[in-house]
């Protein structure tokens, strides 16, 4: 029992001699620091609680002056030793309470700052930049030091004057670093960019990246190649910065397309605008536009201007838009010219060309023979229909037909696959079917002129054969009895399809009772 009492008495004497304060004052500052720290940990957002490590570390460092006073007790060890060692021991015992107070006051000030700046300010305003918060935390350390020096009776001005030469030497050695720090402060003050913005940080087109960090010395960006680039703030302050995310999240992309001189620019522009409509990443507002930008040796150059908010996927946006433009031009018989000299020759098509065309017609006939609706046609009728139809190619995601649009043609799938969807008032968009080679769609528009009842979208690259009204009319006019035969097959198909796509328990819709008459009226027979 007696050793325990002795240790307790020694500890009380240690605390009283260490701080120079009353027990109430020491306990007050410690409790205030702990209270501010606890309030911050409770109220701060989860991702910002790690900032409390600074005040916690300062509280932990309060153990150091306690240990120093235990090692060099002022009343016993220093009194028995004379000379430099005894004098040093006295100084340790005299100033250890100032060191303890510095750690307590610094922890209290930093915790109060975090409570006000993070838990308070950031809840009602924008997040405080890291560099500003770091400066304020360092200022709290400086303020705590001034308070302790003032309490110890030390003139802080004398310390500043005495260290002026050292400050000048250190400042000259760190002039580049200090320049980067000042530039970082200017960046935070002007807000030319923020974390998450896409910027171009010099005149080189490839130097584009997303800002992930802005610290004291440099700004860190990640490029599309997933490479991390660290740019000194001083370099950024002198560079011309292009921000692709501000003031709006969308940015404009440019694509240049060259077409032959014998094709009207207005026609090309209509085709291009229709092609990129609904393409991946292309916004409807602001609307895309196409203008004639130049006349080159290859042909007319068109400037396609589209907008996207997926800047990190801009290469994919541009690529898929180019794909759609190529398919659309090819469907309309427009070739993208290469750089050639204008040499015109006229000659009869060689036998190989005629043979190639014959093979193409034969291949189309084989595809038409698989269409259930056309099984009543003879081979010569199928061959005539195949010769007058045209092959079209669509890129992935393109809509071959849209629900509600007018139409007078039917499509037979040669290669690829498509998805058939419709919009129902009660349930919204509904996927009806996926069609592949040999399947067909659009027969009601071909036979009766009805508007498109569904939207058909290419899943991958789709190659289809389009049969229009004029070609089919010539076949029917040559043999009028085909109207009743094809009408009967169409009626059966409509009944089967209606049962298959009944939505939400709704009973299937029967074919129109005047189907045969509508076919005759449409073809004027």
How sure is the predictor about 500, in pLDDT bands with cuts at 50, 70 and 90? low
Torsion of CA 414, 417, 419, 420, to 10 degrees: 20
Shared domain for 23 and 97, answered yes or no, is: yes
- Domain annotation covers residue 1: no
- Return the minimum-mean-pLDDT range out of 57-66, 87-96, 254-263: 87-96
- Domain annotation covers residue 221: yes
- The tokens describing 461, both together, are 């690259």
Domain harbouring 390, CATH code? 2.60.120.10
Shared domain for 377 and 295, answered yes or no, is: no
* Predicted local distance difference test score (pLDDT) of residue 154: 67
* Predicted local distance difference test score (pLDDT) of residue 87: 54
Shared domain for 270 and 237, answered yes or no, is: no
* Predicted local distance difference test score (pLDDT) of residue 190: 66
Average pLDDT over residues 465-491: 88
Q: How far is the CA of 30 from the CAs of 27, 34, 109, in angstroms?
A: 5, 6, 12
* Model pLDDT for residues 84-122, shown as the tens digit of each residue: 545 545 555 556 677 777 888 888 888 888 878 777 766
Shared domain for 104 and 203, answered yes or no, is: no
* Predicted local distance difference test score (pLDDT) of residue 22: 42
- Return the minimum-mean-pLDDT range out of 50-64, 86-100, 305-319, 378-392: 86-100
- The tokens describing 424, both together, are 């129902």
Shared domain for 381 and 479, answered yes or no, is: yes
- Domain annotation covers residue 167: no
CB within 8 Å of 441: residues ≥ 6 apart = 401, 410, 411, 418, 420, 435, 454, 456
- Domain annotation covers residue 80: yes
Q: Which residue, among 277, 279, 396, 391, has the nearest Cα to 331 in the 3D structure?
A: 391
* Predicted local distance difference test score (pLDDT) of residue 106: 83
* Model pLDDT for residues 279-307, shown as the tens digit of each residue: 999 999 999 999 999 999 889 999 999 99
* Model pLDDT for residues 149-189, shown as the tens digit of each residue: 777 666 655 555 545 555 555 455 455 566 666 766 666 66
Q: How far is the CA of 523 from the CAs of 77, 328, 373, in angstroms?
A: 119, 29, 17
Whole-number Å distance between alpha carbons of 262 and 334: 10
What's the chain's average pLDDT?
A: 78
Cis ω before 10 (30° cut-off from 0): no
- The tokens describing 138, both together, are 């360092």
CB atoms within 10 A of CB 517: 12
- Domain annotation covers residue 438: yes
Shared domain for 125 and 34, answered yes or no, is: yes
Shared domain for 255 and 236, answered yes or no, is: no
Classify residue 377 as left (phi > 0), alpha (psi -120 to 50) or beta.
Answer: beta
Continuous H helices in 284-437: 314-331, 351-369, 379-388
Whole-number Å distance between alpha carbons of 494 and 519: 14
Q: What is the DSSP letter of 117?
A: I
Query: How many independent structural domains does the chain possess?
Result: 4
* Model pLDDT for residues 419-465, shown as the tens digit of each residue: 999 887 767 788 888 999 989 999 889 888 889 989 999 998 899 99
- Domain annotation covers residue 319: yes
How sure is the predictor about 241, in pLDDT bands with cuts at 50, 70 and 90? confident
Shared domain for 209 and 308, answered yes or no, is: no
Check whether 1 has a pLDDT greater than 60.
no
Shared domain for 511 and 364, answered yes or no, is: yes
pTM: 0.58
Structural domain containing residue 383 = 351-522
- Domain annotation covers residue 300: yes
């Amino acid at each position: 029992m007696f050793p325990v009492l002795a240790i307790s008495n020694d500890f009380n004497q240690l605390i009283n001699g260490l701080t120079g304060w009353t027990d109430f004052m020491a306990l007050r500052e410690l409790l205030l620091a702990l209270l501010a720290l606890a309030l911050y940990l409770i109220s701060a957002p989860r991702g910002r609680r790690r900032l409390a490590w600074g005040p916690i570390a300062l509280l932990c460092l309060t153990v150091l002056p306690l240990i120093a006073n235990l090692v060099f007790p002022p009343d016993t060890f220093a009194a028995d030793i004379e000379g430099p060692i005894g004098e040093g021991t006295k100084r340790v015992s005299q100033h250890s309470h100032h060191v303890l107070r510095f750690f307590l006051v610094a922890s209290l000030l930093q915790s109060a700052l975090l409570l006000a700046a993070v838990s308070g300010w950031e809840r009602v305003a924008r997040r405080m930049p890291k560099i500003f918060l770091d400066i304020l935390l360092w200022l709290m350390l400086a303020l705590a030091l001034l308070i302790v020096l003032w309490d110890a009776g030390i003139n802080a001005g004398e310390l500043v004057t005495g260290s002026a030469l050292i400050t000048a030497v250190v400042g000259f050695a760190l002039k580049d670093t200090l320049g980067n720090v000042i530039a970082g402060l200017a960046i935070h003050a002007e807000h030319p960019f923020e974390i998450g913005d896409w910027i171009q940080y010099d005149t080189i087109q490839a130097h584009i990246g997303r800002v992930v960090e802005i610290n004291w010395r440099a700004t860190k960006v990640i490029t599309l190649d997933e490479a991390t680039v660290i740019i000194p703030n001083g370099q950024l302050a002198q560079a011309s910065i292009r921000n692709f995310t501000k003031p709006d999240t969308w940015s404009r992309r440019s694509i240049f397309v060259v077409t032959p001189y014998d094709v009207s620019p207005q026609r090309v522009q209509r085709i291009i605008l229709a092609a990129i409509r609904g393409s991946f990443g292309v916004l409807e507002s602001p609307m895309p536009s196409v203008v004639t930008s130049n006349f080159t040796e290859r042909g007319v150059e068109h400037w396609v201007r589209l907008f996207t908010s997926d800047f990190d996927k801009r290469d994919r946006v541009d690529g898929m838009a180019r794909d759609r433009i190529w398919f659309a031009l090819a469907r309309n018989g427009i070739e993208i010219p290469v750089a050639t000299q204008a040499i015109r020759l006229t000659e009869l098509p060689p036998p190989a060309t005629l043979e190639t065309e014959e093979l193409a017609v034969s291949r189309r006939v084989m595809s038409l023979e698989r269409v259930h609706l056309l099984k009543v046609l003879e081979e010569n009728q199928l061959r005539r229909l195949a010769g007058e139809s045209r092959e079209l190619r669509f890129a992935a995601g393109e809509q071959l037909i849209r629900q509600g649009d007018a139409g007078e043609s039917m499509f037979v799938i040669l290669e690829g696959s498509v998805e058939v969807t419709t919009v129902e008032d009660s349930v919204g968009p509904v996927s009806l079917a996926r069609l592949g080679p040999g399947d067909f769609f659009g027969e009601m528009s071909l036979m009766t002129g009805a508007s498109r009842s569904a939207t058909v979208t290419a899943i991958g690259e789709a190659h289809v054969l389009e049969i229009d009204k004029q070609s089919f009319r010539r076949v029917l006019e040559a043999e009028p009895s085909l109207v009743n035969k094809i009408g009967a097959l169409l009626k059966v198909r409509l009944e089967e399809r209606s049962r298959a796509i009944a939505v939400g328990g709704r009973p299937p819709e029967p074919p129109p009772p005047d189907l045969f008459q509508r076919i005759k009226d449409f073809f004027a027979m």
